[in-house]
Amino acid sequence: MRWWVLVLVACSSGAGEELLSTGVVDTSVGDTSNDTGVSLVDVAETFSVERSVDVLFAVDVSCSMADSQAVLADGFSQAFTALVSSGIDYHVGVISTDMDDPTQWGVLSEARGHRWIEPSTPDPDLVFRELALLGTDGSGAELGLSAVYAALGGDAATGSNMGFRRPDAWMQVVVVSDDDDEGDGPPVITTKEWAWWFDHLTATPEMSAVHSVVDSTRPTPYVELSQMTGGSIADISQVDEADYLALQVVLLPPPTTTFPLAQVPVEGTLVVELSVGGASPFLLAAGLDADYIYDETQQAVVLNTREPAHGDVVSVSYQALP
């Protein structure tokens, strides 16, 4: 089957700028002059690329979920090859929808000593399989929204889950359940109020989304929230391992390729360098068919052929009018 993607938030072209740490690290007035004898300002700007995402799976643990948990465990575990090679800084964790058992109130599942998976986690595919196979002897009253709130905003967020959620990272929630959310009381009162809280977990609403692997044939709070947050929807009765593998593309933050400049560069003075993984920077070539162009409308350097990974540094130097 195919994912019904309402708005591919994680693939929009401009949203990645929210994850860009920029600053003019060195600005000085040079003694050079242009053809008219006007002194120019030497400008140096450094951009540290931040591409990070926190992914939280909320998995139904009722008695009907054995097959669906197995499909999730087998399918998404294959996605870690792509995640590792993407250069993105990720956290992936799993909670249950069981809010009857106080020990599970939004508490991240644990496997092999890991409460979540990150780029340094050994054998991430095997760890995810164990995290996702939560069992099917949990509560039949699925409270996925309350569980997510507890995990990210309740006691668990500042307790056992401390460190999972990062304020500058994209936030993606994936609900996997074959039944409706059965909770409408505190702390989750209405889906609109829940969506407002969720939107404010990140710097901008575009950085967060709820994705639903549920019964998509009828309106449910999960489906409604996916629609409200720009997430994707898949029917749990049809989803297979390949769909979970494809889901990782939707979850990843977009590449950062546009770097707005503080001033307008004088033509012919722009120099752009890229440092990958902490290595010495190398010079990028300008041109439509080369590494970058200067976009006058955005007053920005736009990379054509390269997508910097998390932690890479783009350095831009140029001369500008004072």
**Would you state the pLDDT for residue 137?**
86
pLDDT of residue 110: 95
- Answer whether residue 28 shows pLDDT above 70: no
What does the angle CA 280 – CA 284 – CA 286 come to, to the nearest 5 degrees?
Answer: 165
The H-or-E segment that residue 234 falls in is: strand 232-235
Q: What average pLDDT does the segment 19-42 reach?
A: 55
Question: Do the domain assignments include residue 296?
Answer: yes
Note whether 46 and 56 are same-domain residues. no
Instruction: Assess contact for 132 and 72: CB atoms under 8 A.
Output: yes
Instruction: Tell which phi-psi region holds residue 27, choosing left (phi > 0), alpha (psi between -120 and 50) or beta.
Output: beta
**Which residue reads 């450094």 in tokens?**
46
pLDDT confidence band for 100 (50 / 70 / 90)? confident
Domain-located, residue 147: yes
Q: Which of 251, 266, 288 is the last residue of a domain?
A: 251
Check if the beta carbon of residue 234 is closer than 8 Å to that of residue 216. Answer: yes
Q: Is 9 inside a domain boundary? A: no
245 with 291, same domain: the answer is no
Residues 137 and 177 in one domain: yes
pLDDT at 11: 36
- Over residues 33-87, the pLDDT tens digits come to 555 567 899 999 999 998 899 999 999 999 999 999 999 999 998 888 778 878 8
Same domain as 113, residue 128: yes
Q: How many domains does the structure of the chain reveal?
A: 2
Cα separation, 185 vs 182, in Å, equals: 9
CATH number at residue 131: 3.40.50.410
pLDDT above 70: percentage of residues in the chain: 86
* Contacts with 296 (C-beta within 8 Å, 6 or more apart), sequence order: none
> Is residue 31 pLDDT above 70, yes or no?
no
Domain that holds residue 261: 21-50+257-320
Q: Is the link from the previous residue into 167 a cis peptide, with omega within 30 of 0?
A: no
Amino acid 271: pLDDT: 97
- Percent share of the chain, pLDDT over 90: 57
Q: What is the mean pLDDT of the chain?
A: 85
pLDDT surpassing 80 at residue 290 = yes
Q: Is residue 283 part of a domain?
A: yes
Q: pLDDT-based confidence at 8, cuts 50/70/90? A: very low
Q: How confident is the model at residue 21 (pLDDT cuts 50, 70, 90)?
A: very low
Give the domain-ending residue among 208, 230, 251. 251
Domain-terminating residue out of 232, 251, 270: 251
Asked whether residue 227 falls in the same domain as residue 139, the answer is yes
